[in-house]
Chains A and B, each alone.
Chain A
């Protein structure tokens, strides 16, 4: 094997593209390890950990591209470079004539066009400056990025309120505006239900359940995971609620959040009560998204419904703990809330002995990688490991479909699901998707079900099914 480390100064690419590039390089026959990443402290550490020679790399900075790989021979290295160049080649064709160059910031792009929303997925430490520029040019902003300091969020939202501009985020994974999904979002039917949500996957799950019941969605305004914290004080939630109250085409409002700060919850409840339209509040930890969807049906005068389920034929599984492998943090915590009465204590980290539902979308697992809804690598590893782990009786995992998510998650998951079941485990999948999603909701469900998993559209139902299997296993 030949080890090769190169620095390309000033060649910047976003982390998702680099992840894809790393993968493209790794897929070249004869390539061992490969790392294609910007020269951040973190990535330099990663490089050292991979055992590469750090000489000559010490001066690399965050604007320099690192390319490190081990390969069988020079021909392989050349092939790897070709794969890299192809993966990194830019879609924007340089103008040959008098066209203006591509703007360098979203604020400039917005200012030079009729864009009314700026969507930021830049590293969190840089998001504030970009967001402020967007607001100052009169644009609403959705900040997909996380790791934005709290005081910056407060400043942005205060500015937004003063200027009648909505700040969705930071850490806002999902929004739908007039049926168009931004970030991770599902294809929804046209409708008159609108949502305000401090949780991206919470919004997605609600969309999926309503879609299964034949109910469409007009808007889903994400607010970011900290909006209902005390310092932020539901700034965006209250703004969005007021706007939806005034939106003639929204007839019913659904409000979704992880458990909020008590004072803030009270403020939000009062605002909801003041609305002339019905408002269904789903504070997770008090209730489930399935119950919330049920309340929506009831407000609309619809009968309760059974949500889609593709249940595997009953078969024995080995005794053991329930291991939850989640990509959505909200789905993980809801599953804990639902399963706890049956399973007792449920941990949230890989270090926890016993039952553990882990959110692989958490920062701890996403450093230097794309979100697990896009890049399943980490969860695939953990699924394979759990399948071989004799102490695990039941594996529970979510699969989130929709725009922005992995194009065909079951293709990678199904073989490992089959192996886990052959090894004696039971597998339960919480499938979050709509019939219109580009991945094909039913095809995904059927592929996982064929591999032996029980698949539920309702996350609460999936958690309950896994808990039942797990507690039976323990009793046995």
Chain B
């Protein structure tokens, strides 16, 4: 017999959405009310949200998708050369960040990085030559995300580059990323100076092989364990990676010292390079994220965001339930702090696959863990905490491994639900670097950006249409 779950046994506790008057009158009677700050969904998503709710599969589908995302145990197992790692990579293939892109529509830093990579690969003698060849269609552009890979900023990955291989300890999938070049005149920010090219050559001739030998000697490195520790040491996993890079050096230290089949000056060079680059681990954190993202994709009716990525022209989003479809909107400008005499006028719109960190509960979503970079949020630690707290409203779970000391070790908000984004109007918070708009400039600053609402609105409409 029905008892309506004891509804009739006691005074009700009422959660409200809508007019305050009704909440007031319940309180007037001495009963408890929990209010919400409700607002209508993003215009144009009403019908899709209603269809999703009526269909009924969404909650269970999201549960499945987030469980898959959280089940992966990413570990760094190898460093390989891109052309060997990617079966479909030809000598004229260049992977790039974000959704699909043509040379014609490419932004300054993206063009700069492609030019740099063409010079590095020996396909062009100088920037003008590279640009002319790119314009004639002598290269083939393809998003990293289409190949199980991710790349920060321009994300340009060319055949000779060393790539990190991250797989799931449980055997479900593999993901790749380039190795991080450091800051300054670097390819990913669109630089193509001779120092940029020289560094890339050193990375493929020394850094890649040494790291590979280290990994062969010591075995895989548990990335999730490193990231989890680093969050408790002030990293967010996107814009601050100082702690996690330090932990990485400790992990590889013994094998690096033991020899790793390389001369001592090379091993010393590798140590100094990683030690001098606080962002070395960013790319590996990203590959770990990509592994979770891929694991969560392809669950019908799920509105979980599996990818957020920008190519400097477009911001693209993918949802678990809509598979490989991209939902794009113009990449927004970044609200940030600038290096030296650079200003907003020098900045390129948002760029990079590094937003994969936000899709797996790091970066802007874990801002509360990183008081060292609160300058981006107006300089207060409380502001950073508020940003993280706001993200729980649009996420499906709290990360079981990634915890925030400031929040009594609460798990980071993880698993962005596009349906909740369009319903609440709360957009995912992203921490990011800023590239110079003019090709060859490099990094000009870092700051905050919010993902464009239009991507999520399109995604929800498309998901609703997929329900049949």
Contact = CB atoms under 8 A, between A and B. Distances in A.
Contacts of A106: 15-17, 36, 38
A157 to B, nearest CB: 13
B2 A239 contact: yes
Interface stretch (B45-53, B179-187, B222-230): B45-53
B37 interface: yes
A145 B18 contact: yes
Given A100-B392, A129-B41, A140-B7, A92 B35 contact: yes
Interface string B407-425: 1000000000000100111
A66 interface: no
B118 to A, nearest CB: 44
A14 to B, nearest CB: 5
A109 B29 contact: no
B13 A115 contact: yes
B416 to A, nearest CB: 14
B22 A183 contact: yes
A17 B38 CA distance: 13
A105 B29 contact: no
B364 to A, nearest CB: 15
A106 B17 CA distance: 5
A152 interface: yes
A290 B42 CA distance: 48
Interface residues of A, number: 84
B371 to A, nearest CB: 13
B382 A98 contact: yes
Nearest to B368: A98
Contacts of A123: 40
Interface in B111-133: none
A246 B1 contact: yes
Interface stretch (A130-138, A342-350, A442-450): A130-138
Contact of A132 (B18, B53, B393): B53
Interface stretch (B213-221, B383-391, B438-446): B383-391
Contacts of A187: 29
Contacts of A315: none
Contact of A121 (B12, B18, B54, B420): B18
Interface string A209-237: 00000000001000000000000000000
Nearest to B29: A180
B8 A243 contact: yes
A110 B35 CA distance: 9
A126 interface: yes
B403 to A, nearest CB: 15
Contacts of A140: 4-5, 7
B19 A121 contact: yes
Interface in B28-70: 28-29, 31-32, 34-43, 46, 49-50, 52-54, 56, 59
Interface of A: 10, 12, 14-17, 61-63, 91-92, 95-110, 112-123, 125-126, 128-130, 132-134, 136, 138-140, 144-145, 152, 155, 159, 164-166, 177-183, 185, 187, 219, 239-240, 242-247, 249-250, 370, 374, 403-404, 438
11 contacts: A14-B38, A98-B406, A126-B40, A128-B54, A129-B53, A138-B5, A144-B22, A155-B54, A165-B4, A180-B26, A403-B25
